[in-house]
A and B are shown apart, each in its own frame.
Chain A
Amino acid sequence: MSLSKLAGKGVYVQGNDIDTDRIIPARYLKCVTFDELGPSLFYDVRFESDGTSKDHVLDAHQHEGAEILISDDNFGCGSSREHAPQAIQKFGLKAVIAGSFAEIFQGNCTTLGIPCVVMDEANRVKLTADVEKHPESEIIIDLEGMQVICANAIYPILMKESTREAFLTSTFDPLDNLLGAKTEIHSTAKKLGYA
């Protein structure tokens, strides 16, 4: 499955340095599979401790069914927990647009097939204003053209070339590729005294 083009409604979760503890609080890491994580996404930001809604933007009716998450700088910093991108994906979000990303988070997203694309602040301001005004607008992330298209406006985006290539060639989950080099792995292990 090539992920060269994705489209969906957007939702803007504002703020720099949104860490993975905020994306998925540690108590939800008590699980032996990732299957049930969707509803716990951003839990403490969305709900009071008694479960009452804080009317967070992710729960606003006009953003129901949103598939593109937009945020600001250093998104996904902190803990390496894959539970964070797993929760994002299971919530129904397919891609993230932000000012910048923390690397472990971005790597985890890539492996799961969630493109993380970088957009500068000036363009993000325009895009998020548009999303807030017209939440039903479709956002198209085009990794071939390295652009986001929304309501007839085109916004340039960035992505590391090897990551982009991985999405374009559907090799974002590297496992099969890695397993294709068993002989070379063994000789490296032997050379270094590890086998």
Chain B
Amino acid sequence: MGKNLFQKVWDDHVIRQLDNGQHQVFMALHLIHEVTSPQAFGMLKDKGLNVAYPKRTYATVDHIIPTDNQSRPLADDMAEKMIQVLSDASSEHGIEFFAPESGSQGIVHVVGPELGLTQPGMTICCGDSHTATHGAFGCIALGIGTSQVRDVLASQTLAMDPLKVRRIKVDGELSVGVTAKDVILHIIRILGVNGGVGYAYEYGGSVIDAMTMEERMTVCNMSIEGGARCGYINPDETTFEFLKGRERVPADFDEACEKWRGYASDLEASYDDEVLISAADIKPTVTWGVTPAQAISIEELVPSPHKAEGLDKNLINDALSYMKLEAGAPIKGTKIDVAFIGSCTNGRLSDFQAVAKVIEGKTVASNVRAIAVPGSEKVDKDARAIGLHDLFEAAGFEWRKPGCSMCLAMNPDKLVGDEICASSSNRNFIGRQGSSTGRTILMSPIMVAASAIEGSVADAREVFNLTEETS
């Protein structure tokens, strides 16, 4: 009987079983940022502890950093302090810190892969739930809390229970205008926001196999939105090709690839559950409610609570009243105020390239404030080098500096009042984008661009005349 990737990586990294039944697991890579990690250094200090393996932790700033003016000191005193505390703690403990304007700063889940720090077969953790992103490389990548950040700093290990593994096979061929974002929104819609509790998700099938690494990262990124503790994709030639030549990959790259190949799930591996999804069923998908599972295709109507019962009925009613949407009305045509392209879900070079390909000669509607926020300094640099920044600005987008920005609105990028945002980010929770009455509609970057141009939720296939021939 074969093993799946989760079991292989787990077995390699388990140190021992603890008395309470949990396992102590070594963390190959630990990423920290300014919002959930500075407090952990305080906890270490209180206990008189040191960082055990400082070379296995890397720091950057992303959550709170402004995207308009990053010159120091920052206008927001507390933001400045948080960045300073992280920077000081990093240098005190010998942790490498990718500071703003170093050329390597960015959203932690964009930076790790682009530097080649993220490698197949690793256990990776970070005080951020979207750490699942790194699973795209065939890793067990876990979001953790601050006390666990403390545990990893002090011991390079975590206490945890093994997870079950659900294989999600997406077979067929995606039709034009359907992206990796639509695939994961569709999966969450089907399996629910808590369908993944207790599981790691293994994504496979011909659709996943054909994806680029950046698309795979988009899929894995939102595993947590489906309740899964992590999500991963087996490493293959696409993975190795992406990593080849990156700054931090092993010197003997071919040997490393050999080892990495061995982590992929065996053909005869067993799973705790398997789900088959047909690519033909996936359409450009948008959310209508306040959880990522409250999603429909752009062709569908906003659901009605009448068919639901009990708490489900309440959920739909509450979501509709918060979103101020009418049950049974088309989602297409819903007026928007803001368009946001960026985040660890969709803030990589290929996301901006996909939009650039279709927005040339088009203009953002006058009622829409549109911002494009590259995921890292490297994404920004690469995008500028091929003129994307000019193209976005010509279309009426503001091209910003890197950071998490309006995904969680801890910096000045926020919705005002009950504004609606067409967003390429990952969460449409109540108040998520910085206003307690602000509204978020999640979608792919090209759908955000189409909606920005129309001034309302739009179908990218229509706005950009996408046909099988043009793709």
B interface footprint on A119-146 (CB within 8 Å = 1, 0 otherwise): 0000000000000000000000000000
Neighbouring A residues of B144 by C-beta, 8 Å: 80, 104, 107
- B155 contacts chain A at the CB level, 8 A cutoff: yes
Q: A86's closest neighbor in chain B, by CB?
A: B146
Instruction: Report the separation of the CA atoms of residues A174 and B155 in the bound assembly, to the nearest whole angstrom.
Output: 11
The 8 closest A-B pairs by CB, nearest first: A108-B145, A82-B145, A162-B21, A174-B159, A165-B20, A44-B436, A80-B143, A74-B194
The reply to whether B155 and A185 contact each other, CB–CB distance below 8 Å, is: yes
- B186 contacts chain A at the CB level, 8 A cutoff: no
Given contacts A44-B436, A178-B154, contact A32 B85 (CB under 8 A): yes
Q: A105's closest neighbor in chain B, by CB?
A: B145
B81 CB to nearest chain A CB (Å)? 6
The reply to whether A22 and B429 contact each other, CB–CB distance below 8 Å, is: yes
The reply to whether A179 and B427 contact each other, CB–CB distance below 8 Å, is: no
B268 CB to nearest chain A CB (Å)? 25
- A102 contacts chain B at the CB level, 8 A cutoff: yes
Instruction: Report the separation of the CA atoms of residues A163 and B22 in the bound assembly, to the nearest whole angstrom.
Output: 8
The reply to whether B314 and A21 contact each other, CB–CB distance below 8 Å, is: no
- B24 contacts chain A at the CB level, 8 A cutoff: yes
A interface footprint on B120-158 (CB within 8 Å = 1, 0 otherwise): 000000011101000000000001111110110011111
Neighbouring A residues of B81 by C-beta, 8 Å: 32
Instruction: A26-B408, A100-B194 are known; give 4 further A-B pairs, CB within 8 A.
Output: A19-B291, A26-B434, A33-B39, A181-B155
Identify the A interface with B (CB < 8 A): 14-17, 19, 21-22, 25-27, 29-34, 44, 49, 72-74, 77-83, 85, 100-104, 107-108, 111-112, 160-163, 165-166, 169, 171, 173-175, 177-179, 181-182, 184-185, 188-189, 192, 194-195
Q: B250's closest neighbor in chain A, by CB?
A: A193
Neighbouring B residues of A161 by C-beta, 8 Å: 21
- B254 contacts chain A at the CB level, 8 A cutoff: no
- B197 contacts chain A at the CB level, 8 A cutoff: yes
Given contacts A34-B39, A80-B144, A174-B22, contact A189 B82 (CB under 8 A): no
Q: Among the listed stretches B11-19, B233-241, B350-358, B457-465, which one makes contact with chain A, having 4 or more residues with CB under 8 Å of it?
A: B11-19
Instruction: Report the separation of the CA atoms of residues A44 and B409 in the bound assembly, to the nearest whole angstrom.
Output: 15
Instruction: Report the separation of the CA atoms of residues A19 and B431 in the bound assembly, to the nearest whole angstrom.
Output: 11
Q: A29's closest neighbor in chain B, by CB?
A: B35
B451 CB to nearest chain A CB (Å)? 23
Instruction: Report the separation of the CA atoms of residues A112 and B64 in the bound assembly, to the nearest whole angstrom.
Output: 25
The reply to whether A104 and B145 contact each other, CB–CB distance below 8 Å, is: yes
Given contacts A22-B430, A33-B42, A178-B159, contact A188 B291 (CB under 8 A): no
- B386 contacts chain A at the CB level, 8 A cutoff: no
Q: Which of A16, A73, A78, A173 contacts B147 (CB 8 A)?
A: A173
Neighbouring B residues of A163 by C-beta, 8 Å: 20
Q: Which of B18, B28, B434 contacts A177 (CB 8 A)?
A: B18
Residues of B in contact (CB 8 Å), total 74
Neighbouring A residues of B154 by C-beta, 8 Å: 175, 178-179
Task: Give residues 220-236 of B contacting A (CB, 8 Å).
Answer: 224-225, 227, 229
Instruction: Report the separation of the CA atoms of residues A111 and B410 in the bound assembly, to the nearest whole angstrom.
Output: 26
A selection of 19 A-B contacts at a CB cut-off of 8 Å is A14-B314, A25-B436, A27-B434, A32-B39, A74-B227, A77-B193, A78-B129, A80-B144, A82-B145, A102-B197, A108-B146, A161-B21, A163-B20, A174-B159, A175-B155, A178-B157, A184-B24, A185-B26, A188-B13
Instruction: Report the separation of the CA atoms of residues A162 and B229 in the bound assembly, to the nearest whole angstrom.
Output: 17
Instruction: Report the separation of the CA atoms of residues A195 and B150 in the bound assembly, to the nearest whole angstrom.
Output: 20
- B79 contacts chain A at the CB level, 8 A cutoff: yes
Q: A161's closest neighbor in chain B, by CB?
A: B21
The reply to whether A185 and B143 contact each other, CB–CB distance below 8 Å, is: no
The reply to whether A175 and B13 contact each other, CB–CB distance below 8 Å, is: no
Q: A79's closest neighbor in chain B, by CB?
A: B129
Instruction: Report the separation of the CA atoms of residues A142 and B314 in the bound assembly, to the nearest whole angstrom.
Output: 31
Q: Which of A14, A44, A85 contacts B430 (CB 8 A)?
A: A44
The reply to whether A102 and B26 contact each other, CB–CB distance below 8 Å, is: no
Neighbouring B residues of A165 by C-beta, 8 Å: 19-21
Instruction: Report the separation of the CA atoms of residues A173 and B35 in the bound assembly, to the nearest whole angstrom.
Output: 22
Q: Which of A101, A107, A171, A179 has the most CB of B within 10 A?
A: A107
The reply to whether B148 and A111 contact each other, CB–CB distance below 8 Å, is: yes
- B38 contacts chain A at the CB level, 8 A cutoff: yes
Neighbouring B residues of A19 by C-beta, 8 Å: 291, 427, 429-430
Q: Which of B15, B129, B155, B159 contacts A104 (CB 8 A)?
A: B129
Q: Which of A26, A72, A160 contacts B311 (CB 8 A)?
A: A72
Neighbouring B residues of A82 by C-beta, 8 Å: 36, 39, 127, 145-147
Instruction: Report the separation of the CA atoms of residues A21 and B198 in the bound assembly, to the nearest whole angstrom.
Output: 22
Q: B310's closest neighbor in chain A, by CB?
A: A121
Neighbouring A residues of B161 by C-beta, 8 Å: 160, 162
Instruction: Report the separation of the CA atoms of residues A110 and B20 in the bound assembly, to the nearest whole angstrom.
Output: 13
- B360 contacts chain A at the CB level, 8 A cutoff: no
Instruction: Report the separation of the CA atoms of residues A80 and B408 in the bound assembly, to the nearest whole angstrom.
Output: 13
Given contacts A104-B229, A166-B20, contact A17 B291 (CB under 8 A): yes
- B3 contacts chain A at the CB level, 8 A cutoff: no
A interface footprint on B28-40 (CB within 8 Å = 1, 0 otherwise): 1000000110110
- B53 contacts chain A at the CB level, 8 A cutoff: yes
The reply to whether A81 and B36 contact each other, CB–CB distance below 8 Å, is: yes
The reply to whether A111 and B408 contact each other, CB–CB distance below 8 Å, is: no
- B315 contacts chain A at the CB level, 8 A cutoff: yes
Q: Which of B38, B47, B146, B194 contacts A17 (CB 8 A)?
A: B194
Given contacts A29-B35, A194-B53, contact A103 B197 (CB under 8 A): yes
Q: Which of A32, A33, A195 contacts B53 (CB 8 A)?
A: A195
